[in-house]
Structures are given as C-alpha cells and as structure tokens.
Structure 1
Amino acid sequence: MNLIVAAKIAWAVGVVSWWLIRRPFERKVKRERVVDARDRVREFVLLSISTLGLGITPLVWAVTKALNFANYPYSPVQFALGVLVFLFSLWLFRRTHKDLGKNWSVTLEIKDTHKLITEGVYRYVRHPMYTAFFLWALAQLILIPNWIAGPAGVIGFGTLFLFRIGREEQMMLDTFGDEYRAYSARTARLIPGVF
C-alpha cells in the first residue's frame, strides 16, 4: 500500500475513533441542566475554526487532489510516529471524558450538578482534553505530509485554545472559587510540571 494512502486511512480512522469515543458522552450530558453558558456565538466561531483545522482541511487533502501541490516527501518513520501520537491522543481523550462524566460539555457551560474534577488525569493537569486535542493536532502535523493540511490542526485548535482558555478558567473560578484556586496552584494547564 502506498504510504500516503496509509496516512489518509490512519487519519480517517483516528477521526472516526474520536467521534466514537465522544458519542456516548454527548448522549449522557444532553440530559443535564445547564446553569451557566457563556459566549455562545464566540464558542461557535472558535469551534468552527478548530473543525476547519482538525477536520475539513485534512478531509479535503484526503479525498481530493486540491492540496497535492503542497505535499512533501514522506517516510515510514514519520507515518509510525504520527500513528503513535494519534493513538496516545485518543487514549487521553477517552480517559478525560471518563473522568469528567456528566461535567463535560463542548462549549463553556456549568451544569446544575457540576463538580470540580481533580482525580484521574485531572490530578496532573487542569485541561487534559485540550492536551488530547493538541496531541491530535501534533499527530496530524506528523502524519499528513502536506504543508497546508498537516499544520491546519495546530492552527485551528491553537486558535480555539488561545481565545478560550482564559474564559474557561475564569468560569471555573467564578463557580468554584478558592477550591479552583488551590487546584490551579498544584496542577499545570496542559503538560504536567511544565505548562
């Protein structure tokens, strides 16, 4: 099998796996009453930018020849590394959803029964789901040998992260106060002991 075709298949399997992981959690949280939802229009725009980078642009690369002009030489090592990073991102993505349970949401929301989760992967970082998405973006960068579709995930999700993280942390402070301050003091945002 051609290595580029293998990369396209690996990317597609990763995206479908992401959806399969998230789907059952989406169903569970729909029943939860939201008591605080912030910046709905802004959230829609940011999620659209992230989807453009992590989904639409690489999909265009995978199913058309429109971006072939930006392809570059590709190696089996690059393919293997991209797959490994994607697998780790999927594991972390699932673990994060499992640890959050009904406290999870796509947008900035606080549920009626919302709790501050500090166990599981949340013991080490405050935003492991963002870490999982950054790992997906990194996997895409490594896995897709194209100067446009490869980095599109880092740019798309990076934009969402940059314009959302401060507002999310403020919402958590508004909701949990000193408990969140203490939690923030002992955990990193994305990478344990680093950032």
Structure 2
Amino acid sequence: MESPPDSPVAQSAQMHPERAYLSGQPKSLEGIAIRSFCLGIALASSVVAVLLTLILTSSPLWRLPFFIGALSTFHFLEFWTTAKYNTPVATIGSFLLTANWPAYAIAHSAALLECLVTGVLFPNRSWAPFYSGHIILLLGFILVFVGQFVRSAAMVQAGQSFNHTIQHRKKDTHVLVTTGLYSFLRHPAYFGFFYWGVGTQMVLGNPICFVAYTIVLWQFFSKRVKHEEALLVRFFGDDYVQYKKRVGTLMPFVGN
C-alpha cells in the first residue's frame, strides 16, 4: 500500500531517496543481489542434476531438480520483468519468494515429497491410466514452458499497468491493455501461472498434488479476478465492460 504524499514515510523518502536501496530496505541492492545469485546457483545446479541423473541412471527422480529449476526461473523472471518494464515498483518482494507464505512453501514441499515417494514406489509411473505416463509428461512440459512464456510476456506487454498487488487507485500510468496477448486472453499473466502450476505437477507425476494445485489455483484466481475486475470497471468504465464481453480468460469457469 502506498503512503500518502504528506506522510512521514513519504517525506523521509523524498529527503533521502537512497535509503530505500540500503540493506534491510524494500529496494535493498544487497538483498536483490543475494536473491539473484541464489536463484542462479539453484538453476545451474538443477540443470546439472537433471543431466547427470538422466545420463548416469534410469531414475525418474530427475523430475525433482527440474521442478526446482522451473521455480528458480519463475522467481527470477518475476523480478526481472518488473525491474525492466515497471521499474518504479520493483522491490525485493517482486521475486515473490515469500508470497502467500507459508502456504506457498508448503505446497511446493508437498509436491517435492510426493514426487520422491512416487519415484521410489512407482518408478515407471504405472499408475498412469492406459500407460499414458509419457503423454502426461509431454503435456506437462508444454504447459510449463507455455505458461512461463505467456506470464512473462504479459508482464512485459502490460508494463507499468501490471502489478503483483491489486491496485485500488488508478495511477496516471495505468492504461487498459487490449493488444498482443491481451487481445485474446483477458488475464494472460494469471492464465500463464495457472497452467504453469498445473503443468509442473504433470511433469513431476504427482496425481494428488495435480488435483490439489488445480483446486487451489482455481479458487485463488476465481476470487482474485472477481475482485480485480470490479476495480477495473471502476477505473475504465464501459471500455472494460465491453472488453470483458469480448475476451475470455481461458481458465475453466474463471471470470465468466
């Protein structure tokens, strides 16, 4: 939430603009550097672990480092796209590493644990109906990569009109974007994250977490889209109403 222009916090920021970049502050350069370094290490280690597991063993547990690599890429791109295309609001929080804590961490820990147990007990994913394990894996890869691309591209196209937190006041830089991905997806960033999340569980081969992720993500975006669109109608009036009628979300029963 932004501070009023005459608040002590806002006045202090105007008098000492460099303070926000010091250690422990929202835009701490030290904090940003450490997080970027750790995400880079996690991604590089994941790539090496996936390759070594595939080359040296027949274990299906290469899926574990793949998931960690996908998470590392996602969180880095969340910050990078914000920093480059919506620079004024870029903070340490833009990495989304602690978003919806601790539920977010619990969900990913559960996914890793299920993949580990499933990999040990059912290494060939024999539970998959009609021996469809390879098809599920391929679809999962497609959803992960398409979901990540769509989300990052949507943030780039929206620029300063995109924010990780719902905005309750219309800014001067806030415009209604209806071109590019937004011409056929009403909330492409949400679309991307929804299918990215579902896709990761298909790659991991997690039947339980696949269902859980689908339900939780659907509930989250159903509520968020409803709340956000009420504000967008207030911001843009009939322009958004007509846009909403014209363009869907392509997420099942979300924003209909």
**Residue 238 of structure 2 corresponds to residue 181 of structure 1:** no
The residue number in structure 2 matching 1:25 is 81
Tell me: CA distance 1:141–1:66, structure 2 relative to 1, closer, same or farther (3 Å): closer
Aligned match of 1:141 in 193, 201, 225? 201
CA distance in 2, matches of 1:155, 1:5: 25
**Change beyond 3 A, Cα 1:189–1:82:** closer
- Residues 143 and 163 (structure 1 numbering): CA distance in 2 closer, same or farther, change over 3 Å? same
The question of whether the paired residues in 1 share the 8 Å contact of 2:141 and 2:199 is answered with yes
Q: CA deviation at 1:189?
A: 2.4
Partner SS for 2:185:
coil
TM-score, scaled relative to structure 1: 0.75
Task: In structure 2, give the amino acid aligned to 1:31.
Answer: P
Cα pair 2:61 2:119 within 8 Å, conserved: no
Question: One-letter code of the match for 1:168?
Answer: E
Q: Could you tell me whether the CA contact under 8 Å between 1:50 and 1:157 is conserved in 2? A: no
Counterpart pick for 1:13 among 69, 94, 106: 69
1:151 corresponding residue in structure 2: 211
**1:51 aligns with one of 90, 97, 104:** 104
Q: Which runs of 5+ in 2 are unaligned?
A: 1-53, 90-98
TM-score (norm: length of structure 2): 0.59
> Which segments of 5 or more consecutive residues in structure 1 lack a partner in the other structure?
33-45
- Alpha-carbon distance in structure 2 between the residues aligned to 1:52 and 1:70: 25
**Distance in 2 of aligned mates of 1:67 and 1:149:** 14
Deviation per CA, 1:106-138: give whole Å up to 9, x if none.
121143410110111001121111111121122
* Counterpart AA for 2:67: W
Determine the structure 2 residue equivalent to 1:107. Answer: 165
Q: Is the 8 A contact 2:202 2:210 kept in 1?
A: yes
The alignment's C-alpha RMSD in Å is 3.2
* 2-structure distance, mates of 1:101, 1:50: 28
Between 1 and 2, higher relative CO (CA 8 Å, sep ≥ 6) is seen in 1
Q: Output one character per residue of 1:70-97: Cα deviation in whole Å (capped at 9) or x when no partner.
A: 9953633332321122111111112111
Identify if the C-alpha distance between structure 1 residues 148 and 173 changes in structure 2 by more than 3 Å, giving closer, same or farther: same
Identical residues among aligned pairs (%): 21
CA-CA distance at 1:68 after TM superposition: 7.1
* CA–CA separation in structure 2 for the residues paired with 1:11 and 1:57: 12
Distance change >3 Å, CA 79–CA 139, structure 1 → 2: same
Structure 1 SS opposite 2:164: coil
Partners of 2:210 and 2:100 in 1: how far apart? 18
Aligned to 1:4: 60
2:231 aligned residue: 171
Note the C-alpha offset of 1:182. Answer: 1.8
CA distance, structure 2, for counterparts of residue 127 and residue 50 of structure 1: 23
Larger gyration radius, structure 1 or structure 2: 2
Q: Which moved more, 1:142-151 or 1:53-62?
A: 53-62
Deviation at 1:52, TM superposition (A): 4.8
The farther-off stretch of 78-87 and 117-126 is 78-87
Matches within 5 A, 1:88-107: 88-107=146-165
Read off the aligned partner of 1:87 and give its amino acid letter: F
Q: Structure 1 residue 3: deviation in Å?
A: 5.0
